[in-house]
């Protein structure tokens, strides 16, 4: 028999993934009873999972044992972009000043050059690869706190990427910006690296409002489909 902690972790992971993908609208409410039925478990692991969601700012506790999904609003998302920008400016500055392992640098360059050379490619995967690129740079600094903070922010901004990097022109621009960042790092040009990553991030920020609009429409559509069933 599986331990309760393992069950609660699985439930937490499943709900977290749905929230990040905006499968739930901002006013969606969970109840212990409903989740117990859905996952076929007792109250204990459900309560633990909900407590973890509250601790991580993904839901808020409501009266009468209900929990409300907490989706970020426009201001909060721009705040997340501000923090992301600060983290990534530090990342590329550190790498341009201290250097980056040749093998890791080459791997990233070849990956994005390959995407650029074979457009349009698998458009659905570009958003994930974009996240992986920026998080890999953070990992290459050797600062685990930095890479973890960036990963946490990327999770909440994932839906923006899904609505941002979709057109052929946007994918091409993203590839060129990533390759430029890498060139600046290799040439140890700190100011160049900072400017390159700032341009790349601000390009995505421009689509925040549209991203929220699309995510909201999608979340209500999903809920309507579930209600019909």
- Do 111 and 185 belong together in one domain? yes
- Do 188 and 106 belong together in one domain? yes
Using omega within 30 degrees of 0 as the cis cutoff, is the peptide bond preceding 120 cis?
yes
Q: Is the pLDDT of residue 219 over 60?
A: yes
| pLDDT tens digit sequence for 82-138 | 999 999 999 999 999 999 999 999 999 999 999 999 887 776 688 889 999 999 999
| Across 177-193, average pLDDT | 97
Structure pTM? Answer: 0.81
In a domain, 222, yes or no: no
In a domain, 228, yes or no: no
Separation of alpha carbons 100 and 138, rounded Å? 11
The residue behind tokens 């791997």 is 107
Cβ within 8 Å of residue 194, ≥6 positions away: 89, 92, 93
- Do 27 and 122 belong together in one domain? no
| pLDDT tens digit sequence for 47-94 | 999 999 999 889 999 887 789 998 888 899 999 999 999 999 999 999
- Do 39 and 10 belong together in one domain? yes
SS percent in the chain: helix, strand, coil, step 5: 75, 5, 20
Separation of alpha carbons 120 and 225, rounded Å? 31
| Across 183-209, average pLDDT | 93
- Do 124 and 197 belong together in one domain? yes
In a domain, 155, yes or no: yes
Cα angle for residues 82, 189, 77 (degrees, 5° grid): 10
- Do 58 and 168 belong together in one domain? no
CA count, 13 A, side-chain hemisphere, 100: 30
Separation of alpha carbons 177 and 211, rounded Å? 21
Separation of alpha carbons 193 and 197, rounded Å? 6
Separation of alpha carbons 71 and 19, rounded Å? 8
What's the structural domain count of the chain? 2
In a domain, 54, yes or no: yes
Cβ within 8 Å of residue 83, ≥6 positions away: 149, 153
Q: pLDDT grade, residue 229 (50/70/90)?
A: very low
What CATH number did the domain enclosing 61 receive?
1.10.10.10
In a domain, 225, yes or no: no
Q: What distances in angstroms separate CA 45 from CA 57, 62, 226, one per listed residue?
A: 19, 19, 24
User: What is the domain extent for residue 185?
Assistant: 74-213
Q: Is the pLDDT of residue 8 over 70?
A: yes
What CATH number did the domain enclosing 168 receive?
1.20.120.530
- Do 42 and 139 belong together in one domain? no
- Do 111 and 179 belong together in one domain? yes
Judge whether 200 and 177 are in contact, CB under 8 Å.
yes
| Across 37-42, average pLDDT | 94
Going by DSSP bridges, is the β-strand pair 59-62/29-31 parallel, antiparallel, or unpaired?
A: unpaired
């Amino acid at each position: 028999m599986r331990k309760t902690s393992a069950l609660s972790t699985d439930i937490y992971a499943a709900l977290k993934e749905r929230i990040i993908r905006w499968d739930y609208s901002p006013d969606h409410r969970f109840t212990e009873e409903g989740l117990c039925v859905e996952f076929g478990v007792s109250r204990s692991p459900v309560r633990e999972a909900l407590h973890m969601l509250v601790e991580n700012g993904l839901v808020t506790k409501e009266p009468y044992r209900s929990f409300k999904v907490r989706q970020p609003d426009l201001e909060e998302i721009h705040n997340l972009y501000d923090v992301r920008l600060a983290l990534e400016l530090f990342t590329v500055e550190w790498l341009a000043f201290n250097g980056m392992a040749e093998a890791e640098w080459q791997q990233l360059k070849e990956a994005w050059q390959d995407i650029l050379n074979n457009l349009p490619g698998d458009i659905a995967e570009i958003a994930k690869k974009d996240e992986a690129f920026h998080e890999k740079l953070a990992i290459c600094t050797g600062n685990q706190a930095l890479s973890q903070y960036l990963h946490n922010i990327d999770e909440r901004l994932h839906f923006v990427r899904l609505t941002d990097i979709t057109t052929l022109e946007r994918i091409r621009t993203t590839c060129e910006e990533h390759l430029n960042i890498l060139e600046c790092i290799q040439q140890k040009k700190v100011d160049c690296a900072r400017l390159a990553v700032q341009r790349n991030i601000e390009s995505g920020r421009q689509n925040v409002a549209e991203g929220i609009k699309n995510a909201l429409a999608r979340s209500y559509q999903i809920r309507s489909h579930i209600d019909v069933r």
